[in-house]
């Protein structure tokens, strides 16, 4: 038996785990970035709208105050050139009295200002609202949502602003309109951005620390679990090897004892202590040859079970393959006076399989059936397409059947419920079928015979890396064993 160590690859696992952790952290950070962007976009819109509404309220209030001061008969100032300058940081205003017959727009532009010392250093800053009045040239839509516009500030100066407007009085003769220059929007949202980015970075840092600790803890648990699994597998393998060695020693000891006894008796005959009959000598020699043959079969079957099967897959006619096997075992069935019946589905499609391995599996099951079927009994070999698309080969016999306890152990190595069996035939059969991606099922009841079902996929699934590596490691090249394992 190939004594190969249990292979593990911790570095590969650790690398895969770290890659998965990095991808997870990247997704978390990307999610945080997207959420932060959406929150910032919404909050910045709210901040700008709030500033515009605040300035709008200020403009409307100052309009009302100026209106009450000037009375009803004052002149109209409706041009930016006539704006009255006020010292900063007080607002700059140029407001007309109430206009009962004309529709006007009272504009206010909210601007940042900086106070510098004699050396040009900024020593203070603030915001002021510059106001002026323009005639309403067209019907503007009143909206409580900011819109982008281009305003004429006078002196051939135009500026793109984000504005909002509301009526000053119920008659709609005067409309208050406030705007923030687009090039100054950053001044409003930058404090919010800095605050939000700071909080996001703090939150992301705490999240990464928690995730890092969690990943480290999980990695430690996984490594510990894998180590325990490896130890359990090693213990299980050692126990399995010990069981195989014990059973193998038992199987070898019996033929050796028989040969030893025959050799002692043969020695007595040669020394003249026995009857001296040549027939007795031949009997002793036949017994020794039989035990040697049994040891050889046992060794071949054990090697066949121990080494991983190396498959040579080809699409073949399974019915023809089964027919050839039936012809091969027919003489032995005739000698035992057992009927061998075929029931092969003519519509069976071609199947990919290794003829040598599947031949060994089917022969082992047929051999077991011939051993247990009494004289005059029958063995049926059937082929069908399973409803799930698998190909089913069934071998049914009229033997004594098996109770549940025997059925539970028949695939264990060296387990045999009949005299002279090695207990390796069915394990070899199941392993060969499993190498094809199939399985072996059994139906049996005491007194009603047994049916073994070999289920094969029409196409063998791709071999796993472990199977490939196991086949690459195996270097023994044994010839095909056509003798069924007993």
Longest CA–CA span in the chain (Å) reads 160
Provide CB contacts within 8 A for 250, sequence distance 6+: 414
Which pair of tokens denotes residue 199? 């909080």
pLDDT tens digits, the chain, 486 residues: what are they? 333 344 445 566 667 777 877 787 788 778 777 777 777 666 667 777 777 777 777 777 776 666 666 554 443 333 333 333 333 333 334 444 444 445 566 666 666 555 556 665 645 555 556 666 666 655 555 556 677 777 766 667 777 777 777 777 666 666 777 777 776 666 666 776 777 778 777 877 888 788 778 878 887 888 888 888 888 888 877 776 677 676 667 667 777 777 777 777 777 777 666 565 677 777 777 777 877 877 777 777 676 666 666 777 888 899 999 999 999 999 989 989 999 999 999 988 888 898 888 988 899 899 889 988 999 999 999 999 888 888 999 999 999 998 888 888 888 877 776 665 667 788 888 888 988 889 999 999 898 899 999 999 887 655 544 444 434 333 333 333 344 455
Choose which CATH entry (3.40.50.300, 2.150.10.10, 3.30.565.10, 3.40.980.10) describes domain 308-473: 3.30.565.10
DSSP-assigned beta bridge partners for residue 150: 160
Q: What DSSP string runs through 435-471?
A: HTT-EEEEEE-TTS-EEEEEEE-SSPPPPPHHHHHHH
Q: Return the axis-axis angle of helices 278-306 and 425-435, rounded to nearest 10°.
A: 30
- Which contacts of 153-156 are long-range, i.e. CB under 8 A and separated by 24 or more positions? 153/80, 153/109, 154/79, 154/80, 154/81, 154/83, 155/80, 155/81
104 CB neighbour count, 10 Å cutoff: 18
Q: What is the pTM of this model?
A: 0.44
Which pair of tokens denotes residue 52? 């515009």
Instruction: State the DSSP code for 342.
Output: E
For the chain, domain boundaries: 72-186, 308-473
Q: What is the rounded CA–CA span in Å between residue 304 and residue 435?
A: 13
Provide CB contacts within 8 A for 479, sequence distance 6+: none
Q: What does each C-alpha distance from 110 to 76, 91, 217 come to in angstroms?
A: 23, 9, 55
Provide CB contacts within 8 A for 283, sequence distance 6+: none
The dihedral built from the CA positions of residue 348, 353, 356 and 358, taken in this order, carries a sign that is: negative
């Amino acid at each position: 038996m190939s004594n190969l160590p249990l292979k593990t690859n911790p570095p590969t696992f650790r690398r895969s785990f770290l890659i998965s952790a990095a991808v997870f952290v990247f997704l978390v950070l990307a999610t945080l970035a997207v959420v932060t962007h959406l929150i910032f976009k919404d909050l910045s819109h709210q901040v700008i709208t709030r500033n515009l509404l605040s300035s709008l309220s200020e403009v409307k209030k100052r309009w009302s105050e100026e209106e009450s001061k000037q009375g009803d008969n004052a002149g109209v100032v409706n041009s930016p050139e006539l704006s009255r300058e006020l010292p900063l940081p007080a607002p700059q205003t140029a407001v007309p009295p109430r206009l009962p017959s004309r529709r006007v727009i009272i504009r206010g532009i909210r601007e940042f200002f900086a106070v510098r010392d004699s050396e040009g250093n900024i020593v203070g800053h603030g915001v002021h609202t510059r106001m002026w009045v323009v005639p309403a040239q067209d019907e503007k839509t009143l909206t409580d949502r900011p819109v982008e516009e281009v305003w004429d500030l006078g002196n051939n100066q135009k500026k793109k602003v984000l504005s909002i407007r509301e009526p000053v009085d119920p008659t709609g003769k005067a409309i208050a309109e406030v705007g923030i220059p687009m090039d100054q929007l950053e001044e409003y949202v930058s404090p919010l951005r800095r605050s939000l980015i700071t909080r996001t970075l703090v939150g992301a840092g705490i999240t990464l620390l928690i995730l890092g600790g969690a990943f480290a803890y999980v990695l430690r648990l996984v490594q510990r679990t894998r180590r325990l699994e490896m130890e359990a597998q090693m213990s299980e393998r050692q126990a399995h090897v010990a069981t195989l060695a014990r059973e193998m020693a038992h199987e070898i000891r019996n033929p050796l004892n028989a040969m030893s006894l025959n050799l002692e008796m043969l020695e007595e005959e040669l020394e003249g202590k026995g009857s001296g009959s040549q027939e007795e000598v031949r009997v002793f020699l036949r017994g020794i040859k039989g035990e040697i043959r049994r040891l050889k079969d046992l060794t071949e079957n054990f090697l066949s079970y121990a080494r991983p099967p190396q498959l040579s897959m080809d699409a073949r006619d399974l019915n023809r393959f089964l027919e050839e096997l039936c012809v091969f075992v027919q003489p032995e069935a005739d000698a035992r006076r057992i009927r061998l019946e075929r029931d092969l589905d003519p519509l069976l499609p071609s199947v990919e399989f290794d003829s040598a391995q599947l031949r060994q599996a089917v022969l082992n099951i047929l051999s077991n059936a011939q051993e247990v079927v009494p004289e005059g009994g029958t063995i049926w070999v059937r082929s069908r397409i399973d409803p799930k698309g698998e190909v089913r080969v069934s071998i049914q016999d009229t033997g004594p059947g098996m109770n549940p306890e025997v059925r539970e152990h028949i695939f264990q190595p060296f387990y045999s419920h009949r005299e002279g069996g090695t207990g390796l035939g069915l394990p070899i059969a199941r392993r060969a079928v499993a190498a094809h991606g199939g399985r072996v099922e059994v139906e049996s009841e005491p007194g009603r015979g047994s049916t073994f079902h070999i289920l094969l996929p029409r196409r063998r699934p791709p071999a796993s890396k472990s199977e490939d590596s196991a086949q690459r490691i195996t270097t023994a090249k044994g010839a095909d064993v056509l003798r069924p394992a007993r």
